């Protein structure tokens, strides 16, 4: 796999992992402790991750091309 494709794939993986942790743990913990500013910050981070994930997926799809494979 070419280095640039690996880098994009690694960024996507890490972003998806961060998004999962935010949704499954961090947001719930912030709400449970009653910290509104933490909840707002984490919500903004989750939203930005969603945008970043979509951009990474789009870029990887372009790299895959018609063959459907990363080189």
pLDDT averaged over every residue in the chain: 95
Residue 21 counted as domain residue: yes
- Summarize pLDDT for 21-40 with one digit per residue, the tens: 999 999 999 999 999 999 99
How far is 24 from 10, CA to CA, in rounded Å?
Answer: 21
How far is 57 from 62, CA to CA, in rounded Å?
Answer: 9
The confidence score (pLDDT) of residue 70 equals 80
Residue 70 counted as domain residue: no
Domain with 26, as residue range(s), is: 3-64
The band of 56, judged by pLDDT with boundaries at 50, 70 and 90, is very high
pTM of the model as a whole: 0.88
The number of folded domains in the chain is: 1
The confidence score (pLDDT) of residue 68 equals 80
How far is 36 from 30, CA to CA, in rounded Å?
Answer: 7
Residue 69 counted as domain residue: no
């Amino acid at each position: 796999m070419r280095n640039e494709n690996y880098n994009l794939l690694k960024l996507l993986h890490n972003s998806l992992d961060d998004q999962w942790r935010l949704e499954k743990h961090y947001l719930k913990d912030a709400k449970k402790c009653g910290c509104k500013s933490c909840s707002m910050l984490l919500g903004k981070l989750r939203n930005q991750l969603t945008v970043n994930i979509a951009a990474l997926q789009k870029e990887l799809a372009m790299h895959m091309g018609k063959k459907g494979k990363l080189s």
